[in-house]
Amino acid sequence: MEHERAWDQADELRAQLEKVRLTLVQTAEALGAVAGAADLVHHTSTDHRA
């Protein structure tokens, strides 16, 4: 992981990945609400940073 952190664009990549993650969580929540399914997104920690 250290070589990834040393990359000059690592912070930008992580920020973009976080935006994508939030969009996916919102989509999963919306689909779950439409389907009447249980909330599976928030049963684990939302902090996925290493």
- Reduced to 3 states (helix: H, G, I; strand: E, B; else coil), residue 13 is helix
Instruction: Write down the pTM of the prediction.
Output: 0.66
In a domain, residue 12? The reply is: yes
In a domain, residue 25? The reply is: yes
In a domain, residue 15? The reply is: yes
In a domain, residue 26? The reply is: yes
The total domain count for the chain is: 1
In a domain, residue 1? The reply is: no
Per-residue pLDDT of the chain (50 residues; tens, 9 = 90+): 788 788 999 999 999 999 999 999 999 989 988 998 877 777 655 555 54
In a domain, residue 27? The reply is: yes
Cβ contacts of residue 40 below 8 Å, gap of 6+? 28, 32
What residue numbers bound the domain in which 37 lies?
7-41
In a domain, residue 34? The reply is: yes
